[in-house]
Amino acid sequence: MTDTPVIGVLALQGDVREHLIALASADALARPVRRPEELAEVDGLVIPGGESTTMSKLAVLFGMMEPLRERVAAGLPVYGTCAGMILLADKILDPRAGQETVGGIDMIVRRNAFGRQNESFEAAVDVDGVPGGPVEGVFIRAPWVESVGARAEVLAVHGGHIVAVRQGNVMATSFHPELTGDHRVHAFFTDMVRAVG
Amino acid sequence: MSTLPRTPQSAETPATGTARVKRGMAEQLKGGVIMDVVDAEQAKIAEDAGAVAVMALERVPADIRKDGGVARMSDPNMIEEIIEAVSIPVMAKSRIGHFVEAQVLQSLGVDYIDESEVLTPADEVNHSDKFAFTTPFVCGATNLGEALRRIAEGAAMIRSKGEAGTGNVVEAVRHLRQIKNEIARLRGYDNNELYAAAKDLRAPYELVKEVAELGKLPVVLFSAGGVATPADAALMRQLGAEGVFVGSGIFKSGDPAKRAAAIVKATTFYDDPKIIADASRNLGEAMVGINCDTLPEAERYANRGW
């Protein structure tokens, strides 16, 4: 693989633009992905923040769920933020009827665990493997991870709750680095994609 | 409701209600459809159809038009029932300048407050000070100056006003084109010209400069007012709206569940005419529209707010 991997951002709904900008500044070739044929062409994928129920419905509706599962199972590096974390969880604690996930990380996620919008907050978060001190964590109606399986590695904890996890080539954060202008987490993920290549 | 605790469970003291958290919330709604609902049952239909949020209100704009009289904030019971019924964000409307209605909505735990011209204005001079709230605000605008004045008051999201309750997209198109054109014009100005531009727009210079540099509003821009079909929603997206509010268009139509899902599809694949065509098939009757050029001045909601 070249030093400039192609990283897609799942563009069914959510803050796609911010991820594209963050990935570009981490020297990846970033492009939106809405169709199976677009997914087939990327070296890595970001699942953005948004509404997890909406995103999962649209993924099923437009035939993306199975291709996503297949590529994740085949080792595609994927990074999910907030709603993206929920989609990468093997299990949701309290899913809406029919809410499906892509899976990829052996963890149980609680949706909106930190509360509604009035409880949304910013806080500094230390993320294992991301150099240069804590990152600014923006938590918006954010989920947390209730528990992880043996294969999953906890990367960050806030207020006693797991907020960043990695399992193999798949990582997820409860918070939104794409909203901060600090692109270290995206650089960390882009390096992961390079390493796989 | 167990999945949405009202109080933070973190032991540390986080910074809530920051501009980043307020604006960031709207960023998460992008590419989505926000639907007007009047009860829990409609809210569930909207959620099942793939709405990214619902707007809880007592009467959809088409009925407000029909009924006349003063339109106010909804009954807290009704808003709470909707909050309980769905896990997607819930928005609710306050009257323009009625900051006590906004305080009430914040206390109910709504996720966004729409300071809306669809309700009867409570103050003909002042909008609410939106910085005074933890809950973020969305406001309507017909042009760039109006959008920037709302942002200067603390709005974290802007929508076109359109002409709500008409099922006629013409005013939403006018407002969105106006905002986009004015932004494009600012891009061509040099620094000397931006001061006069700020004066003409009746907006703070700092915001005008920011827009000139970004080439977009510093907050998310949605379309609202008059969207009734999948093609209407896709039109607004192609014109530059980052998402779409649909008011009366869904629950005043023949088959709300089907139309809601169709509008969601067309909003996601707004640049794919084949998908929009498929989404447009056999939707049953659309809401009956109103021609905006026959609408008396006094019945134009877009003229409310300043």
- A120–chain B Cβ distance below 8 A for any pair: yes
Q: Which of B16, B28, B135 sits opposite A51 (nearest CB)?
A: B28
A79 compared with B166, residue with greater pLDDT: A79
CA A154 – CA A173 distance, rounded (Å): 10
pLDDT for residue B285: 80
Tokens representing residue A129 in the block: 């493997």
pLDDT for residue B252: 85
- B10–chain A Cβ distance below 8 A for any pair: yes
The residue of chain B nearest to residue A111, with distances taken between CA atoms, is B3
Task: Cite the DSSP H helix spans in chain A.
Answer: 16-25, 36-39, 52-61, 65-73, 83-88, 184-196
- B18–chain A Cβ distance below 8 A for any pair: yes
State whether A111 and B52 contact (CB < 8 Å): no
pLDDT for residue A74: 96
Q: Which of A16, A61, A96 sits opposite B87 (nearest CB)?
A: A96
State whether A51 and B32 contact (CB < 8 Å): yes
Query: Residues of A numbered 5-24 whose beta carbons fall under 8 angstroms of chain B's beta carbons: which are they?
Result: 11-18
CA A182 – CA A170 distance, rounded (Å): 21
A6-196 topology per CATH: Rossmann fold (3.40.50)
> ipTM of this model?
0.95
When pLDDT is cut at 50, 70 and 90, the band that residue A166 belongs to is very high
When pLDDT is cut at 50, 70 and 90, the band that residue A1 belongs to is low
pLDDT for residue B230: 97
CA B162 – CA B173 distance, rounded (Å): 7
Catalytic residue among B93, B161, B252, B265: B93
Chain B residues with CB-CB distance to A123 below 8 A:
10, 12, 14-15
A49 compared with B254, residue with greater pLDDT: A49
CA A143 – CA A116 distance, rounded (Å): 11
pLDDT for residue B6: 39
CA A81 – CA B156 distance, rounded (Å): 21
CB pairs under 8 A between A and B: 153
pLDDT for residue B68: 85
- B241–chain A Cβ distance below 8 A for any pair: no
Residue A197 Cα, gap to closest chain B Cα (Å):
31
When pLDDT is cut at 50, 70 and 90, the band that residue A130 belongs to is very high
Residue B196 Cα, gap to closest chain A Cα (Å):
31
The residues near B296 (Cβ < 8 Å, ≥ 6 apart) are none
- A123–chain B Cβ distance below 8 A for any pair: yes
Query: Residues of A numbered 75-94 whose beta carbons fall under 8 angstroms of chain B's beta carbons: which are they?
Result: 82-83, 94
Instruction: Decide if B93 is catalytic.
Output: yes
pLDDT for residue A12: 96
pLDDT for residue B67: 87
The residues near A151 (Cβ < 8 Å, ≥ 6 apart) are A106, A167, A168
Each of the 306 residues of chain B gets a pLDDT tens digit; together they read 333 333 434 445 689 999 999 999 999 999 999 999 999 999 999 999 999 999 999 888 888 888 888 999 999 999 999 999 999 999 999 999 999 999 999 999 999 999 999 999 999 999 999 999 999 999 999 999 999 999 999 999 999 999 988 889 999 999 999 999 999 999 999 999 999 999 999 999 999 999 999 999 999 999 999 999 999 999 999 999 999 999 888 988 889 999 999 999 999 999 999 999 999 999 988 777 777 777 888 788 888 887
- CB B91 within 8 Å of CB B138: yes
Spans of all domains in chain A: 6-196
State whether A16 and B88 contact (CB < 8 Å): no
Percent over 70 (pLDDT), chain A: 99
Chain B residues with CB-CB distance to A113 below 8 A:
5, 9
Chain A residues with CB-CB distance to B2 below 8 A:
94
Query: Residues of A numbered 129-168 whose beta carbons fall under 8 angstroms of chain B's beta carbons: which are they?
Result: 138-141, 158-161
The residues near B301 (Cβ < 8 Å, ≥ 6 apart) are B61, B117, B118, B161, B163, B164, B165, B225
Chain B residues with CB-CB distance to A96 below 8 A:
47, 87
State whether A50 and B8 contact (CB < 8 Å): no
